[in-house]
Amino acid sequence: MKVKGTVHKYGDNVDTDVIIPARCLNTSDPGELKLHCMEDIDKDFVNKVKKGDIIAGGKNFGCGSSREHAPIAIKASGISCVIAESFARIFYRNAINIGLPIVESKEASKAVQDGGTAEIDFDRGTITVKRTVTSVNLDGKYKDIEQDSAKTKSSLRTLPLVANFREYFTEVKAAQETNKRICGNAYNYQYDGYVFVDEMGDRLRPNYLTDGFPKLLEKHGLKRMRFHDLRHSCASILLANGVPLKQIQEWLGHSDFSTTANIYAHLDYSSKLSSAQAMTAGLLLPEDNRFSSKWVDFDGGQNAENPES
């Protein structure tokens, strides 16, 4: 199951009395309850919420009453999922009982932004490329441009989140939380939720990797190469391990299959080998023992009988 919607974000200890006011507990009708959902904490919620939207909270979301009215009101209002750093035990149980999807994740609750869009894939872990940052020269000064677009439409893509990268991103997020505690108010929260920020929370420049990569190679005594060459290395390794060119195109984000084929077809030795084997199996030569050296007719067969002469 996959859900996607606008995020309505609140803080810690959102209790059931603000999710659905006590004055409305004289009914269990979802249609009535949804008209008052979140009204004591967000008066405009019922007017702006749309089907499929997502609620995000901090710690101890749903504390307070043990009644099921709160999750019923949330679900009836059209909310597809609630994300929180932690849930009150009774709310957690009630949400499961009525079929309201919930996600308990400190990382997710911190990463999503109020008014932003979140997408959750419950069936499999995925990573989505949907925003780019480029550095451009404007009147002699470099400026970073952030946009929800890329060089080609296919560059904005969703890919499986490989286990090793999942672990890495988890470690990065934990390090960011440590940096926030240490830096306090000096930490830059403007880019909170971004992956590539430094210890102070400042977004890394687009040329950070390309500038630092040569230094890394030199430090470890490796041959000088461009950072972009790693992309070609990855594609070559995938191809050598039998991954079809079409799948490699999707990983690389090429807009056209011919681009991938033109660049990497010369490396696809396995395809050449399989095609050669297919010709061997499908294009059988007739059995014929008349093949012999044509030189026999000129030397009288002497060299054939005495090869060393």
Q: Are residues 21 and 103 in the same domain?
A: yes
What phi and psi values does residue 43 have, to the nearest 5 degrees? -65, -25
Shared-domain flag, residues 66 and 132: no
Whether residue 100 is found in the same domain as residue 133: no
In a domain, 181, yes or no: yes
CA 71, CA 37: separation in Å to the nearest integer? 10
> Is residue 303 included in any domain, yes or no?
no
**Domain stops at, among 123, 144, 168:** 123
* CA 306 to chain CA mean position, Å: 71
**Cα(first)–Cα(last) distance of the chain, in Å?**
80
How many domains does one find in the chain?
Answer: 3
CB 264 within 8 A of CB 236: yes
Q: Which amino acid is at 284?
A: L
d(C-alpha 309, C-alpha 64), whole Å: 105
- Would residue 64 count as lying in a domain? yes
CATH number at residue 136: 1.10.443.10
Are residues 44 and 75 located together in one domain of the fold? yes
Mean of per-residue pLDDT scores for the chain: 80
24 shares its domain with 93: yes
Instruction: Give the pLDDT confidence score for residue 237 in this predicted structure.
Output: 79
Could you report the per-residue pLDDT of 25-40, keeping only the tens digit for each?
Answer: 889 899 999 999 999 9
> Are 113 and 13 members of one domain?
yes
Identify the segments of the chain with pLDDT beneath 70.
122-131, 147-157, 159-164, 166, 264-309
CATH, residue 22: 3.20.19.10
Same domain, 93 and 45: yes
> In this structure, are 152 and 91 located in the same domain?
no
Q: Which of 117, 256, 143 is nearest to 207 (CA)?
A: 143
Task: Give the pLDDT confidence of 230-249 residue by residue, as tens digits.
Answer: 878 878 877 777 778 787 87
Residue 117 counted as domain residue: yes
pLDDT given at position 309: 47
Establish if 283 belongs to a structural domain: no
Tens-place pLDDT, residues 101-155 = 888 888 888 888 888 888 877 666 666 666 677 777 788 887 777 766 656 665 6
Taking the C-alpha atoms of residue 136 and residue 146, their distance in angstroms, rounded to an integer, is 11
- Do the domain assignments include residue 305? no
Exposure string of 136-158, with b = 16+ CB inside 10 Å and e = fewer, is eeeeeeeeeeeeeebeeeeebee
Looking at the structure, tell me whether residues 18 and 48 fall in a common domain.
Answer: yes
Question: Which pLDDT belongs to residue 297?
Answer: 55
Which range of residues forms the domain containing residue 65? Answer: 2-123
Place of tokens 């904005």: 156
Which tokens go with 109?
């609750």
Residue 277 host element (H or E): helix 269-282
Tell me if 220 is assigned to some domain.
Answer: no
Let me know if residue 21 belongs to a domain. yes
Same domain for 144 and 166, yes or no, is: yes
Cα 267 from Cα 253, distance rounded (Å): 19
Residues 86 and 110 both lie in one domain: yes
What confidence score (pLDDT) does residue 31 get?
93
Angle between helices 257-264 and 229-240 (to 10 degrees): 80
